[in-house]
Amino acid sequence: MAECRSALRRLSDNLATADGDVRGAAALDRSLSCHIKDLDITFTGRLADGRIQVEDTVEGPPREKAEIRLAMTGDDLVALIDGDLNFAKAWASGRVRLEAGFRDLLKLRSLL
């Protein structure tokens, strides 16, 4: 769990220092959940001001439907953040699940 929290913190730091299209996509203000399937925990928070703010960790799947929802294993989260796993390929193969509204998906595609 600590390794996943650290990976989310690194992702937040990367988003905060990004520029161009990535910066624009990260500028959304949306609720966010990241369900770590193998640990059966969910990090909840917000994507706001270009950062991911983790507010809580709950056991099991998310209790409320966030505007942006991710689901993957802990190893895949760490591999994505470390650059060892390509998001588009992982998403296409079903290893990573991303759910959001259509407009948000269009904005988030620059993060892929």
Structure confidence by residue, pLDDT tens digits, 48-69: 888 889 999 999 998 889 999 9
Residue that has been written with the tokens 């290893």 in this structure: 95
Burial 45-63 (b: 16+ CB within 10 A, else e): bbbeebbbebeebeeeebe
pLDDT, tens digit (0-9, with 9 covering 90-100), for 1-38: 999 999 999 988 877 777 666 666 667 889 999 999 99
* 65-106 tens-digit pLDDT: 999 999 999 999 999 999 899 888 998 999 999 999 998 887
CA atoms of 11 and 15, how far apart (whole Å) = 6
Q: How far, in Å, CA of 98 to CA of 96, rounded?
A: 7
Sort 5 into a burial class: Cβ within 10 Å, 0-12 / 13-18 / 19+.
middle
| Beta-ladder partners of 67 | none
| Predicted TM-score of the model (pTM) | 0.86
pLDDT at 111: 60
Q: Which domain holds residue 94?
A: 2-111
pLDDT at 61: 92
**Count of all residues that appear for the chain in the document:** 112
Domain count, the chain: 1
CATH number at residue 14: 3.30.1050.10
